[in-house]
A = this chain, B = another copy of it.
Amino acid sequence: EIVDAIAAALGNGPLRGRRIVVTSGPTHEPIDPVRYIANRSSGAQGAAIGAALAALGAEVIFVTGPAEVPPPAGVEVVAVDTAAEMRAAVHEALPADAAIFAAAVADWRMKTARAEKIKKTPDGLPDLALEENPDILAEVAAGPDRPGLVVGFAAETENVVENATAKRARKGCDWILANDVSPATGIMGGRDNAVTLITDEGAEAWERMGKDAVARRLAERVARALGPVGAA
Contact = CB atoms under 8 A, between A and B. Distances in A.
Interface of A: 28, 31, 33-41, 104, 106-108, 116-118, 120, 125-126, 128, 130-132, 155-158, 181-183, 188
Given A33-B181, A34-B104, A38-B36, A132 B117 contact: no
B31 A35 contact: no
Given A28-B38, A34-B41, A35-B37, 18 more contacts: A31-B37, A33-B157, A34-B40, A34-B104, A34-B157, A34-B188, A35-B40, A37-B37, A38-B38, A107-B118, A107-B120, A116-B158, A117-B155, A117-B181, A125-B130, A125-B131, A126-B130, A128-B128
Contact of A125 (B108, B155, B181): B108
Per DSSP, chain A at the interface is loop
Copies of the protein in its oligomer: 2
Contact of A156 (B117, B130, B155, B156): B117
Contacts of A36: 37-40
A34 B155 contact: yes
A212 to B, nearest CB: 22
Nearest to A117: B157
A26 to B, nearest CB: 9
A146 B211 CA distance: 48
A132 B183 CA distance: 25
A65 to B, nearest CB: 13
Please give me the 10 A-B residue pairs with the lowest Cβ-Cβ distance, nearest first. Answer: A117-B157, A38-B38, A128-B128, A35-B39, A125-B130, A107-B120, A34-B39, A116-B157, A34-B40, A33-B183
